[in-house]
Amino acid sequence: MKDKRVFVSGGAGVIGRELVPLLIEMGAKVFVGDIEEIPKDFPTNLIYRHGDLNDLTQNEINQFDPEIFIHLAATFERSDETYGHWEENFQHNIKLSHHLITLIRNCPNIQRVVNASSYLIYDKNLYQFKTSKNKPYKLKETDPINPRNLTGLSKLGHEIELDFLSKFNSDKFSSISARIYRGYGTNSRDIISRWIRALLNDEEITVYNDEGFFDYMYARDTALGLVKLALSNASGIINLGTGSSRQVKDVVNILLDYFPEMKANKIINSDELIEASEADVTLLEKTLNWVPSSRLEDTIPIIIDYEKSRQSEQISSYKNILVTSISAKVSLIDSIKSGISKVSKKIKIIGCDIQSNIICSYFVDEFWQINKLDDSNLNNFITECISRNIGLIIPSRDGELEFFSRNKKTFLDNGIQIMVSEISSIVKCIDKLEFSSQRDLSIIPSSDSIENINASSYVVKERFGAGSKSIGINLTKEDAIKHSKSLKKPIFQPYIEGKELSIDAYIDKKKIVKGIVMRERVLVVNGESQITQSITNKDLENSFKNIISSLDLYGHVILQAIIGIDNTINVIECNPRFGGASAISIKSGLDSFYWAYLESTGVNIEDYPFYRPIKVVKQVRFHKDIYL
């Protein structure tokens, strides 16, 4: 490998973290591409391209001019793939593999392609059974194929592509596809790592069908095997496994030695097939004069030590979340908890309010009674936030948005992010009269004088604040004027017939609308939606996306609009915060608080896609008693 130019796709993954340092150590010149940021412990003497490799250009790869291409980039899920994996599999397995090999075949000095494939390609009927077996089935390279899921299908597709290209490029480069078996290692999402993380947190682990056999392949061995294959003359297909499967219960018993207080829920799932697979490594040994030698007994302690050190780092780096003016916003707190639990259960949700005896104090991890927020007590408030290790503030009331937006930089200077838009955008949204002046955005016209509104019937509302309980709808001119006298700062609008929609959206820090969920009110009581359901209409979504993009907002926002009888869009107002019925958008895939927390830690959330459910989501809001 001395001075060889090696391009590694997906180099920040589990195998890549072992492979890249190994290549550098061997003297190779390495170009790594990955959608994830560069790992902190990577060597500095390499080229790293952070981003989606679907966007890699021929010019970029030609500038590096690779001699060897090791293709690791892939997206995986568990054997039972979710619906969302449909698009992920196409983008980051099928499409990406095709794109990269299309570029690589044109590189002038490419000599060798090593493809990280999978044993999931083999016919599942060979190694999956309704009852447990005494020994595993040895899968041979010549065995029948029948991929058992989308990932296996994508791996087979790329094998066939490489085979196709070999007919036309055999004088230029050779390729080999290594069918890798049950991978595990440090910094992984594999079952062994997940169990270890759970046990370190004193959580119960669930063990399915512990009689099953798997050929566990340690990532360091996989990396070494791929390097050896890159340096060999072998082509076609080859198994990359240990050839010595272990049962699931072997893994559990090894873990029991390190976690004697382990709580394990063992389930024999009669509906799930039991795997008993093992690599036939005859060809591997013949080709390389080598087979992987790592044993579970030796590698599991390494992963435990890694997870312990990783956990201690995470504990110190995780910051808490402060939600302001929580009052009775239980739905908001539940939505935040749902999102943040994906990061860590160690993150505290702290709620604050100027009142002491409030409902939400029973639903947060910690309650903090505060004084009314203003600039005079800003420094004291920030000091208290720092003492509570708060890293993100989520304002929940219109009246405090200006305060937080105005002081956003001061909070940021103290290491505290705020999910709030810029002050100019906040003012435009809160002031309904000012908001309606943006006529190019299909916003319903408003005026503080009814004489400026030409309509047959009217809507009268407060210029500032939510005001849903004091609104007057479909009033005659006489009644509208009469109703306006009961309001502090009334504004008038024409009444428009049609269907009212609420549009929840999340705008990231780059001011890009990441996701959008439309919903309609089925039952409204006292101005609040008690029954709400999501709706899907691509044309409307695109229109609302353009409107929201023009408002220069950040974070979770809600647009209210009426779709007229002639299908025209009539925007009523915009609330630059989470709303009372917005929890339905969270259930519909708009993971606002998860994304906001990731962004607060510097993560680029382009890597965290918005997935919506394929069915309508209906939300029913009701009062519920709890007993303490």
Average pLDDT for 357-367: 95
Structure tokens at 114: 């090593």
- In the chain, the percentage of residues whose pLDDT exceeds 90 is 74
Give the model confidence (pLDDT) of 515-538 as tens digits: 999 999 888 877 677 899 999 999
Each residue's pLDDT tens digit, 89-100:
898 999 999 999
Residues 6+ apart with CB under 8 A from 46: 20, 24, 29, 30, 31, 32
Q: Is the pLDDT of residue 310 over 70?
A: yes
Token pair, residue 154, equals 């994508």
Q: What is the pLDDT of residue 333?
A: 95
- Residue-level pLDDT at 473: 92
Q: Taking the CB of residue 468, how many other CB atoms lie within 10 A of it?
A: 14
**pLDDT tens digits along 538-582:** 999 999 999 999 999 999 999 999 999 888 999 999 999 998 889
Which whole number is the average pLDDT over 143-147? 95
User: pLDDT, tens digit, for every residue of 219-275?
Assistant: 999 999 999 999 999 999 999 999 999 999 999 999 999 999 999 888 876 678 899
> Residue 79's pLDDT band (boundaries 50, 70, 90)?
low
Task: Quote the Cα angle for 85-71-39, to 5°.
Answer: 80
How many helices and strands (H and E) does the chain possess? Answer: 20, 31
pLDDT digits (tens, 9 = 90+) for 378-431: 999 999 999 999 999 999 999 999 999 999 999 999 999 999 999 999 999 999
Q: What pLDDT is attached to residue 312?
A: 65
Q: Can you spell out the DSSP letters for 88-151?
A: HHIIIIIIHHHHHHHHHTT-TT--EEEEEEEGGGB-GGGTEESS--SS-EEE-TTS-B--SSHH
Q: Are 251 and 299 in contact (CB under 8 A)?
A: no
Q: Which residue has the tokens 């009246």?
A: 399
DSSP 73: -
Segment 596-621, tens digit of pLDDT = 999 998 888 886 778 777 788 999 98
pLDDT of residue 607: 66
Rounded mean pLDDT, 136-157: 94
Dmax over Cα atoms in the chain, in whole Å?
Answer: 95
**How big is the chain by its Cα radius of gyration, in Å?**
29
Model pTM? 0.57
List all residues 6 or more positions away from 61 whose beta carbon is below 8 Å from its beta carbon: 7, 103, 104, 107
Angle formed by the axes of helices 423-430 and 398-406, nearest 10° = 160
Of 47-51, 363-367, 422-426, 454-458, which gets the smallest average pLDDT? Answer: 47-51
- Tokens 């340096």 belong to residue: 231
- Tally of CB atoms within 10 A around 178: 25
What is the number of alpha carbons within 13 Å of residue 113 lying toward its C-beta? 30
Q: Which residues share a beta bridge with 515?
A: 506
H helix or E strand, kind and range, residue 557: strand 555-564
For residues 216 and 246, the answer to whether their CB atoms sit within 8 Å is: yes
Percentage of residues of the chain with pLDDT beyond 70? 97
